[in-house]
Structure 1
Amino acid sequence: MTPAPRASQLPSAWDAGWLQMATHCPSPNFGPRPAATDIDLLVLHSISLPPGIYGTGDVQRLFVNQLDWDAHPYFQGIRGLKVSSHFFITRVGTVWQFVSCNDRAWHAGASSWQGRERCNDYSIGIELEGLEGLPFEAAQYAALAQVCQHVEDEYSIRQIAGHEHVAPGRKQDPGSGFVWPQLQQMLNWPRAMFPPGTV
């Protein structure tokens, strides 16, 4: 019988901040994190393009600056926008990655969490395909829990929050359709890691 490989012999889930289980689609929209930054926050978002329409590929095109601004009237309001997220999880649970987690993605904008400004500097952004206020799919929760666990294994994650929590009044995602207790139960992370009142 062949002996089971030791942990040190197992292939890593990561390569220079890229999660190997994800489909990689590198975005030019990123920058370096400040020196000696602890990456300790996960920020959850929701996005769909056009809003409420799923599976178009337009989210991926937005994050790599290839969106056809004239393809839909809604796009006129975001023309020229340059944004990115580390991860994007589709309705069927497919995981895309656009920026190495070692780098700073452009997902949270003007933001603050527990007295610290500029959440992009120290957070990892995960976008869920959806629309705030509407429910998400079981496949998305399963993929999200897997990504969160991999990230927590690799980085010193101490908190998880929604875009609505780090930019209150400006953002509402992932919104009331996201079931925080479900994620907390799947991860079995301490309740203190989640925003107050969500679990």
Structure 2
Amino acid sequence: MVNGTAVRRRRQTLCVAALATAVLAGCAGCSGSSSDEGKELRFGETASLPGYKDTKLDVTVERLEQGSSSDLSVLKDASKYAGRTPYYLRYKLTKTEAGTSGGASTYFSVADGNKKRLTKLTILGALDTTGDPKNPLKYRGFEKCESSSPSDFDKAAPGQSVTGCAVYVADAGAGAPTGVTWEQGTKTLATWK
């Protein structure tokens, strides 16, 4: 009987070890998975996310609007964008603590149905002459997608918000975007659909 008891204990130990190994193998990569995978949100919902130097800010993706390729005809090199479709990402950033936005819009990414990233355009405004000696220059922005400046966010008090707009361009024939993500490094922290 002593040998039978020893054999049973050894089998129990092996079974417990096998079960523990199976659980650990099934959970490989589980630690921290909630922060690695990010939050799934609907357009209009807000997520508290790290920004520049891990400063927290509340981010709301309000909507993603499809434009027309003719919208891009006002750009200097308009022929480069012929046949391409612009999408306007409209968002709101709310300051939750002291700090800077650090170019928060750079954390956004938009991809089409094939998971191919759309090209983000940075459109600089132009200064037009007015002929008026008192006000000789007038600023002209891209009217389809104007944004608050990063300095507006930097000057805002905690709890105040600024609105933003970013332009993404899909290649001719590409499908519509499936969502907007907030990414830092290789991590997707939030997805709006």
Q: Same fold (TM over 0.5)?
A: no
Flag the structure with larger Rg.
2
User: Given the two structures, how large is their TM-score scaled by the length of structure 1?
Assistant: 0.27
More strand by share: 2
Q: Give the TM-score taking structure 2 as reference length.
A: 0.28
